[in-house]
Structure 1
């Protein structure tokens, strides 16, 4: 299936291809029949502004209240399809609903057409109709629909009882309209996922991945042309504004997790008066180059694995008395081709996904599941590991994720610097370091983009959540985030979760209680509060 639109005169046409396999993955979360194209439509003239909200002006007393949508999306129940896709079961009374909305490809020139984006909402069947939603964005870390599915499976449903949570899948991720950079990208995509381990003629992994990264960049920039850089945090912030307009409200209550925290900050930067709540959950660092950001992530992965290993040993898990040694041995086997089609990089990516995201939602069950997957692979049964690899690629292996990740990164290192980092990180972070250094080369040829914008002022108090062992963003970048907020003069409060995984608001019931209190009336908890693992 192909959807094409013609861009404005003077620019070459852009064809966005919706691959059938991607459609099959996302069909369970579709919003039902629609007369709109799968990806984009041509549109001329300017867009209409947001409808006037009937919410009364709260005056200068404090932040405005969360608002109930005036013109809601066309929600349809997708509980079974969404939760089964991510391997969880919704808790009793939880309803998951899916819809789509359109956002301009370029908010500065709405005549260029629109992109169809997916929204996934979780609520209780008993949640009052007048309960105002929170808008959740994980950026390019993984689809919002995945986190909404895990939230729906949590036994503690207090947040959903008070406020529906609406997740927005980023352009090209999850159930949002997919795009394919073309046949030239097909083989490159798989080879990049394996960091060139199975690439024919590969001798030097640094040269191989650098070459694959150039090929991927050429394929996607040729395909996207002038729109290649319209997939970063600033564009995602514009998509949130399109959602606000679609809902007919003056303000949004935003939850930005990981990379999505930068999306939320970018939104505040351009729409400061349209924010009633701001929660930054496990935020990416701000104003850092790709090497620094990646090293922070690697530290988080090592810490998360150590937390997993300690729990694993305490529960007498199948990996034995030394889970790290057993996993290191398995990684060596994968690197030498001993796990068949599962490369060393794919193994580490699957481990990271298992450490990060709550499926199963219970930490003890998650520990047992990962331990059994790895120990079975060590015994020669790679079926569970292969399934984990495929699930990981479904989450973050799309062309949309590649383009978004590369666009968001700053100052990607070249081959010589990566060679140095592979050696030093391999010693400092023995499980994840060398692989993460090599992976940065996938984006080394991508065109430079502007840093994600930061707000000069924030008119609402800000709740910041972080985890001690976060395998998606780490924890070292938190001071830069809180410093950027402090520079605006905004009031902040931080809550730290002592568990492992990402993000905090999805996995910690203690943290969700702080979210509920803050969402209700913008009351912050005491700064420096901690939540147990």
Structure 2
């Protein structure tokens, strides 16, 4: 579900859903057949809207006035708002929310605020808007909207959840996620427990209140504080789940909503993870077909099938599992199988990163130099040169493990599911199945469940899907569009994660017209 976003979004909105978290993605190649049980799972109850009137206990939150101050460069302002820690008991304490905006530059009539979320969960919306959206969104959009972001509770500047220090995260990211025996399985379980215990020790109360439903309710407080009658919003990857949840809770307050790289809220965690695994396989197939056209491709020459290329990559992962590849790291880290896998997956989010991945694989497989893949993995995990990590992975797990019951309850359950995951992706399936075990050891029980979101009565909502998206499969966009009563499905026939701002004039024109004029694209419109 994505996360930080650059102009070409070389990073996710889905954090492998932490390679140890939600794993939410799976671009459908059409090979996964939905069983009767999975269809029944998708017939979950619909999210119920909240009453239109503001509960008395929340009045003080809705009547807040932001105290804006200049922050950073390029004309940004920042403020802090408060939300109740527990919406069921507003008197139990507050959560501080970091908000930023860049006011509309003109000319043209101001259209209010445009709230932006880049995904994750765990991606900093404030950081994204200040680094890109507030200066990189189309000039016409920035001219007429205040560009606004709020870091969701538990994320980045909004009371961030913390779990492990830098050395602890280094050890965690090197943990073998394809255990070969009982000892390695025990080490993986121990790593998940250590991670979970660290999160629980840091913020035991907050950890129970970082759900997507609560974050969506926070957005309504932000909307009111901004003085907007309705919420205008662009959400990518996990941000689509957040935006759809807002529409489901407050359909009468949903303005112009763009949900790009859509998630399907009706699926339970195991199904989400399995379909995301298939999505990464679809993306790898596209990469492999491109790679073998180049002379320097280490996965094979012209005519090599994606299946054969996948076997070569899997063999390389096995070698790294037995003996980490030297990476010239200042902290002495070698490229383990787990880090190599993440490095490859990181490049699946944007076809613009394929050349870099090809070069990194060539160095690792032919020259015994793992530095390129390690750099890709570090970028994915948001590890800096000093060995420190942002709270992306911590918030990612905290939200995912609260939103849905765990995909697996034990290593035995993972082993029984391995054939399905390995069928979905011979290259990534085993590792992603074991990565789905992390929520089994979470210190608090899930409060959410899979459910449809219909948002009856909402204004038209634009749902965007990319046909070969590695992190949020196209079928999820179709599913969400089928649930939302006012959805218009906009399709990008292409590679990479999400579509808006990634080079398609057709997609960008359709979305910009909707944001500026309120005219949504025709349902079913396709672009390339």
TM-score of the superposed pair, with normalisation by structure 2: 0.73
Alignment-derived partner of residue 170 in structure 1 = 152
Is it true that 1:465 corresponds to 2:464 in the alignment? yes
Which stretch has the larger CA shift, 98-107 or 491-500?
98-107
Alignment-derived partner of residue 438 in structure 1 = 434
Please give the residue correspondences for 1:238-249 in structure 2 after superposition, counting only pairs within 5 Å. Answer: 238-249=217-228
Is it true that 1:375 corresponds to 2:379 in the alignment? no
Distance in 1, Cα, partners of 2:523 & 2:213: 29
Gap regions ≥5 residues in structure 2: 1-56, 327-333, 383-389
Aligned residues: 442
Alignment-derived partner of residue 446 in structure 2 = 448
SS at match of 1:505: coil
8 Å CA contact retained: 1:73, 1:247: no
Query: Highest relative contact order (Cα 8 Å, sep 6+), 1 or 2?
Result: 2
Please give the residue correspondences for 1:54-453 in structure 2 after superposition, counting only pairs within 5 Å. Answer: 73-78=68-73, 97=76, 99-104=78-83, 105-119=85-99, 130-137=110-117, 138-140=119-121, 142-144=123-125, 148=129, 149=131, 159-161=141-143, 163=145, 165-181=147-163, 189-196=169-176, 203-314=182-293, 318-319=297-298, 321=301, 324=310, 326-340=312-326, 341-356=334-349, 363-364=351-352, 366-378=353-365, 379-394=367-382, 397-414=392-409, 415-446=411-442, 447-451=445-449
Deviation per CA, 1:253-281, whole angstroms, max 9, x where unpaired?
12232222221222223322222122221
Distance in 1, Cα, partners of 2:98 & 2:486: 32
Distance in 2, Cα, partners of 1:305 & 1:121: 38
Alignment-derived partner of residue 61 in structure 1 = none
Deviation per CA, 1:210-240, whole angstroms, max 9, x where unpaired?
3332343344334433432211111211221
Distance 1:202 1:299, change over 3 A: closer
Distance in 2, Cα, partners of 1:525 & 1:197: 43
Distance in 1, Cα, partners of 2:472 & 2:317: 22
Is it true that 1:519 corresponds to 2:515 in the alignment? yes
Distance in 2, Cα, partners of 1:422 & 1:46: 47
Which stretch has the larger CA shift, 408-417 or 153-162?
153-162
Deviation per CA, 1:29-75, whole angstroms, max 9, x where unpaired?
xxxxxxxxxxxxxxxx86525459xxxxxxxxxxxxxxxxx968445
Cα drift, residue 300 of structure 1: 1.4
Distance in 2, Cα, partners of 1:293 & 1:234: 18
Cα drift, residue 515 of structure 1: 1.4
Distance in 1, Cα, partners of 2:177 & 2:493: 36
Cα drift, residue 115 of structure 1: 3.2
8 Å CA contact retained: 1:301, 1:469: no
Distance in 2, Cα, partners of 1:314 & 1:145: 40
SS at match of 2:490: strand
SS at match of 1:133: strand
Deviation per CA, 1:143-190, whole angstroms, max 9, x where unpaired?
33565446578696554455454343333334444232477xx77644
8 Å CA contact retained: 1:493, 1:525: yes
Gap regions ≥5 residues in structure 1: 1-44, 53-69, 79-94, 358-362
Cα drift, residue 288 of structure 1: 1.4
Cα drift, residue 466 of structure 1: 0.4
Cα drift, residue 339 of structure 1: 1.9
CA RMSD of aligned residues (A): 3.5
SS at match of 1:477: helix
SS at match of 1:465: strand
SS at match of 2:458: coil
Distance 1:127 1:97, change over 3 A: farther
Distance 1:225 1:164, change over 3 A: same
Cα drift, residue 308 of structure 1: 2.5
Cα drift, residue 140 of structure 1: 0.2
SS at match of 1:476: helix
Distance 1:153 1:328, change over 3 A: farther
Deviation per CA, 1:110-151, whole angstroms, max 9, x where unpaired?
444433434455789666683533212225063335654465
Distance in 2, Cα, partners of 1:46 & 1:102: 13
